[in-house]
């Protein structure tokens, strides 16, 4: 499973590999820019799978987020890393479609920061999932229109990258999003 000691891939602003650093060190203080990914998984009804991050997570514990967010490890391609996390977190396999990538930096009080160049993917899943209780406290599917209302009513319940990614998907990738749901 995920470990603070695993080596993550450091990158520059153009996503060029620059070296490696432990996950813990990547997230200390203001963070060090590293490669990451976010998966947006939809069921056949066009609902988005959300996960509640484990209370044991260092950053944003208990917050609701997109389906899966993680990092490729040293020596892993993005394909290998995304498939590993699908198995590790939800005990499934799924085909994924790349949508876009972006950088963001966000501090979580004085506990550390995210500083990521994040690759965003879409995929489809069945409703029957077996979340790993060590990684995820809860899952649920939500219709896009209900998600918009939840963001408006209680934005502090959601991870910052999820809110940024969803807004970008609505504004810049609405056609591709429509292939998976009716946002």
Alpha-carbon distance of 48 to 57, in angstroms, equals 22
Please, are residues 129 and 49 in contact by the beta-carbon 8 Å criterion? yes
Alpha-carbon distance of 114 to 102, in angstroms, equals 13
Alpha-carbon distance of 148 to 54, in angstroms, equals 23
The catalytic residues are: 69, 116
Please, are residues 41 and 52 in contact by the beta-carbon 8 Å criterion? no
Query: What's the confidence (pLDDT) of residue 76?
Result: 94
Which tokens is 148 given? 């918009």
Segments making up each domain of the chain, as ranges:
7-177
Q: Is beta strand 17-22 parallel, antiparallel or unpaired with respect to 64-65?
A: unpaired
Alpha-carbon distance of 79 to 181, in angstroms, equals 23
Model confidence, pTM:
0.95
Alpha-carbon distance of 163 to 182, in angstroms, equals 18
**Three-class SS state of 131:** coil
Cα angle: 10, vertex 136, 33; to 5 degrees? 15
Alpha-carbon distance of 160 to 168, in angstroms, equals 13
Query: What's the confidence (pLDDT) of residue 127?
Result: 66
Query: What's the confidence (pLDDT) of residue 183?
Result: 65
**What confidence tens digit (pLDDT) does each residue in 145-177 have?**
999 999 999 999 999 999 999 999 999 999 999
Closest residue by Cα to residue 44 from 124, 139, 141, 121: 124
Stretches where the chain sits below pLDDT 50 are none
Cα angle: 140, vertex 106, 16; to 5 degrees? 100
Query: What's the confidence (pLDDT) of residue 1?
Result: 61
Architecture of domain 7-177: Alpha-Beta Complex (3.90)
Query: What's the confidence (pLDDT) of residue 128?
Result: 80
Query: What's the confidence (pLDDT) of residue 157?
Result: 97
């Amino acid at each position: 499973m995920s470990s603070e000691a695993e080596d993550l891939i450091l990158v520059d602003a153009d996503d060029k590999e620059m070296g490696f650093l432990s996950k813990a060190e990547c997230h200390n203080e203001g963070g060090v820019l590293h490669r990451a990914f976010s998966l947006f998984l939809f069921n056949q009804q066009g609902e988005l799978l959300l996960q509640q991050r484990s209370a044991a997570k260092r950053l944003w514990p208990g917050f609701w987020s997109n389906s899966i967010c993680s990092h490729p490890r040293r020596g892993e391609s993005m394909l290998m890393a995304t498939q590993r996390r699908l198995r590790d977190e939800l005990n499934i396999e799924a085909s994924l479609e790349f949508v876009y990538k972006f950088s963001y930096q966000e501090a979580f009080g004085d506990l550390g920061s995210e500083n990521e160049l994040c690759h965003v993917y879409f995929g489809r899943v069945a409703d029957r999932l077996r979340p790993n209780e060590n990684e995820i406290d809860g899952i649920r599917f939500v219709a896009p229109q209900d998600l918009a209302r939840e963001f408006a009513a209680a934005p502090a319940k959601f991870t910052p990258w999820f809110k940024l990614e969803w807004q970008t998907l609505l504004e810049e990738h609405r056609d591709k999003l429509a292939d998976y749901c009716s946002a």
